[in-house]
Structure 1
C-alpha cells in the first residue's frame, strides 16, 4: 500500500490493487478528500499537516460493488534542537537537583549520556516518562561529570551541548596540619584545609576569640605547661554550611630529673607493691625497664597513670632486679638511676644437715639453713626444750638419753614468718678403736693374714688397699692375687709381691665409718737375679771394682769369696775393690743373703790379668767340678 512514517519534504508513494473482473476502477482519498483516480498515488512533498488516513477504494462497474482499505501515514518533522537546562535550584550536595532536555521537532525518544555512556535510572537518579527530565534525589559530588541528552526520531537525531555538572558541597571536616607539641617560647604554625566547592573561607579561634581569618595561623611565643586548644572554622557561602575542628598543642618544659620512688617498704613476696616514676619537667610518655630490658604488662604487672606507676600484685621472687624508668616528651628524654628492688621472702622450709645416728661420747653437729631474704634467725629445740639460738647447733658429748627429735625454727623479722623442720637422732654405742694386727712376717709365697681388731659393736667391716675398696673378685681376674675374707681376717693364700700396698680396715655402724691406721704391706722376697758387674780382665797395676746386686726385699747382705766359696770370705758388702796383681787372677764369688727370708744365692765371675802367662786354664770339665763344689752347699746363679 505505502509507508507508515515519512519525513517532512519526502514524497509518499501509494499503490492499490483489488482482484476483480472486469478490472476495478480506483480512487484515493486523504482524510475523506479525493486526491487521485488511479491505483497509484504519489503525494506532493510532505508537511506535518499531511499526516493522516489515506484510503483506497476499488469499484467494479459491472457488479456495482466497491471495497476500500486505509493506510495511516505519520509525517515526522526533523529534530532540530536538544538543549540541557537546570530546573530550579543549583546543584548542592544532598539536595534535589533537576535537569531537563528541551527539544524542537518530532521527537520520538530522548536518552541521557553520562561521561559518554548511556545513563539509566536507579534508586537516586530518576527519569520522567518521556525521558526529558533527569532528577537527582539527592545529588552527590560524585555525580560530577559531563552530561548530554540525545533527541531522535526515525529520520533525524540531535545532540545537546555538553553540560558539565559541578556539585556544590562542603565544607567537609577540616584537616589541621601543624605540630601537636612545642617547646616553651617557640612559635607554632597551623594550616587548616577543608574540602569544599566553592573553596571555603576560614577563621581561627583561641580562647573564644578570632585570632586569624586565613587558613594559616601562627601561634607565637608559646607559654604554659599544659595542652591548649586552637579551633579552625571553615565556611562555604554557597552551601551556607560551616564546620569546625580543633587541634591540641602541648607546650613542654625540659625534663630535668627522673627518680624512682615508692611509699611502700619493704617489698615482700606475695604482697602488693608499686613503683612511681617522679619527673621534674613535662613528660608525655613513660617506659619501664628491668635489668636493661623493656618491662611489659602481664596478669600481675600493670601500668597506671600513662605508665607513670607500675604495680605488682602480688610480688614474686623473680621480680627482684634493677629497675629504671625513662620519661620523655617530643624534645627531651631522661632515664632514672637504677633502683634495686629486692624481694623479702621466706623463710622456706628449713633444710637440716646432721646425722641420724651418732655414737656415745661424740658430739653431733646440726646445721640449719632456709631460703630467706633477709637471712633468717634460727633457734633449736630438743624434745620441745630450747637448745640453741644459732644456725649451727653442736650437742654436748652424747649419751643414750640424748636420742630424740631436734627441731630447727627459722624466723624472718621482715616478713614476720617462721618455718620449722625436725631431725631424729639416735645415739648408739661407740666404736672406740679399729686396729690392724699381724702375727707373721709377709714372705713371698707364704700364707699371710691381717686381722682387724674392733673395740665396740659394729655392723660390718671391709678392707681398703691404696685408698680403694678391696674387691674380692680381683683374685679371680689376676692369678697372682689370691685372698679372701673370713670374719675379721684378710687371708693371702699365698702372699706375693703384687699384694704390696697400703691397707686399712674399716668398721661401720649406723653412725658412720671407723678406719684403722694405715698398714704398709711390703712382701719380703729374694734374693733374685744376683749379678756381678765389672771388668772380666785388667792389666797389672790397675784398680778394679766388682759390684754384686740382687732383686730383694729387704736389702741383702753380701760376702765375697775368691776361688772357693768354702774358704773364709775376703770382703763383705756389695763392692770389692783391688789393685791388679798376678795373684788376683781367678774366680770371684758373690754370696747374697736375705736376712728375713734366709735365702742365699751365689754368683761368680772369672777375672784374668793381662800381661803375664795365665795360670788359669779351665777346661769345661774343670769348671763343672768347681760348680759342683758350689752346689754342695749353696744355690748358684750362672752369669
Structure 2
C-alpha cells in the first residue's frame, strides 16, 4: 500500500476515479493509493463532514460521482499447516484473513516473533504443546484480529537398536527387543528372513521366534514408526542358529544292569553346533569330563559328539539313574538324557539274634557276603559306627553285638567292604528297637505341651493328646479328679465343676516291657468377672447418674464376683484414673458431664466386665448466643426481610438444661430454644433478646441482637444536564433512598451499564436521547426505575 499527499500531481491513467481535476486532488480531498492486487487506484476522500453512517464522503458537488471504498476486516482468519510437528524437521505455515486493504501479519511462538504471512518452524527440543499465534492488522483502521493453532509435538524415531541373544537356539523361543527414541510413542514391525526369503512378521516391541531346523542363520529387521507423525526408521542384524539335538546314552554291552564294586563304561551321543560341554550324574556325584570330544558322523551329515564316562557302582540302591547333560557353549542351552540302571549288590546285613530287638536286651547283626574280614567297617545311618564297651565286634568284624540295646540304636546299618576298586557298601538293614514308655507329655493340639497348670473355662472344650516315646505303641488312660475319664490317646476335655481346681493325669503303658509312665497337670476353671458395681461409701450402689459438685470428694469402690481375684482399673472421661479398687473421686471440669467407669479383668479368662455412671457437675448458664441455623452466631445486628422467616436458636452452656425465653421489642415472643422468626414492622429496627435460666443454680444470662428490616428503593432520581452536545462527554448520577445500599443499572442505547454514575458521548446528531436507571436493593432484590430524555445539540466548537 502506498500513500500520496494532497497537491501532488499524477499522470493520467486508466482507472482514476472521476471527480479529480487535472490529475490533482481537490483542495478539500486527501489521496491514497491502495494495491489490493496488481492494479493501482487513486481515491480522493473528503475529510469533512463526518457522515452519520460513520464513513468519509466527498463534498456535495461530487456526491454520487465517487464510489465509497470502506476499509474492512480482518476477519475469517485461518492458519494453514500440519497439526503435528516433529523435533528437528522444518515445517511451513501460512496465515490468511479477509481484509481491505490487505492486512499485515505477525507471528508469536513462545518467546519468538516474526512478520509476514509465512512462518517456517523447526523445533530443536520437545515441549508438551506448541502454540502458534498469528495477528492480522488492517493498516487503515489499525484494527487487529488473532488466530492460534495448537500443535502436537513428536520426537524421533531415532537411536533404534535390537537387543537379544548372540545366537538362535533350536526348539526354544529366542526373545529379541527393539527400542527407539520416540515421543509420544513408537509402534514396531518385525520381519525375519533367510537368504532374502521372508519367514515371518509380527508387531510389537518384543519378538519371540523359534528357528526352523532347515536354516543355519536368520536376519532380523525391525522398523520403528512414530505413532503420531508416522515417521519411521529401521535396523537389522543377523544371528546364527545354535543346535543341540538328539542326545542318548550307549552301553557297550547293551545291558543296563551293573554290579556293586565293578566299573562300567558308558557313551553319550548328541547333535551339537558349534560345541558342547558335558556333565554326568550318578549316585549323587557329578563328573565333568575334560576329554577331547571326537566328532562322529551319524545319520547323514549332522555332526554327532561322542562323550565317554567310566562309572564305579558303590551304593546299595536297587536302581540308580545315570544322567548325561550337554550344554551348548554359545547359546547356553542344555539337553539331557537319563538311563535307569539296575544294581546288584552281593553284600547285605542280617539279624543274628532271634526275636525283635528290645531296649535293655542283647542283640546282634551280621555282615553277609565273601569278604576280607580285616577290611570290614560298620555304618549307622551312613555314619561310621564307633566301637565301645556296649558295641562289640567279633574277631572277623562280621558280627556286631549290642549289649544292651538302647532306644538310640534304632537306624539303618551297613557293612563296608574294601575291594580292589575301593570301598563298597552293603545293602542296608533297618533295625527298630522296641522301647518305652518314656517322655510322657500332655499336649494341647496346635499349642504344645501343657505345663503344671491348665486353664479351662467352664463348658469349654480343649483338644488334648497324651504322647509318649514308645515302640511299637503304648495304651493310654486318662484320669480327672481321681476318676477314669478315657482310654483314648486324644480327648476333647471339658472340666466338671465344682471343684474349680483338680488334677488331670494321663498314663502310658507298654504291654511288651510291662512298664508305665504318666504326666499330669492341675486344671484351673476360672470364672467371672460378674456383677461389677460402683459403690458409694455408706450410700450403696451408684445409679446411672452421680451428681458431684466441683471440688467435692466422693469415696467409691469397684466390686466384682471373680476367681481368681480380678484386677481393677478406673477411667474418667476416657482417661486412666486409678488401678485401685477404692478411690476418692473429685470431678475434673470441664467437661461438666463425663462417664466414670470401673473395669474388672480376669487374667486367666482374659475377660473383662465393667460398670459405669455418668458424673454430672451442675453449672451455668454461660456463653449465651443467638445462632442462625446453618450459618452460625448472630452478631450485634441481624438483617431480616419483612415477611421473611429466619430459623434461630438460643444456645447456652448450662447443666441441667436451661429454660429459654425470647423477647422482641420488649414483648414475650416464645419459650422454645428454637424459633422461626418473622420481624413485625413498624418499627424497622428493634431488639431481639433470648434469656437462659438454670433451675438448679437459679441463675440467668441473656444474648441480644438488633433486628434491621431492609426497605427501598424509593425516590430514584437521575442527576445531570438535561441536554448534551454531539461529541462532548456528559456525566450523570443515579441515586435512591435504599437500605442497605442499592446497586444501579443504566440502559443507554439499549445496552445495560453497571454503576451509580455514567459518562455519555453522542457521536451522531439526533433530536433526543433516552436513558434510564434501575435501582435494586441488594438484599431484598426489589427494584425501581427512572427514565430521562436528553436533548441533543450540535457542538459549539469547530473541528476544521
More contact order relative to length (CA 8 Å, sep ≥ 6): 1
Give TM-score scaled by structure 2 length: 0.30
Greater share of residues in strand: 2
Quick check: which has more Rg, 1 or 2?
Answer: 1
TM-score by length of 1: 0.35
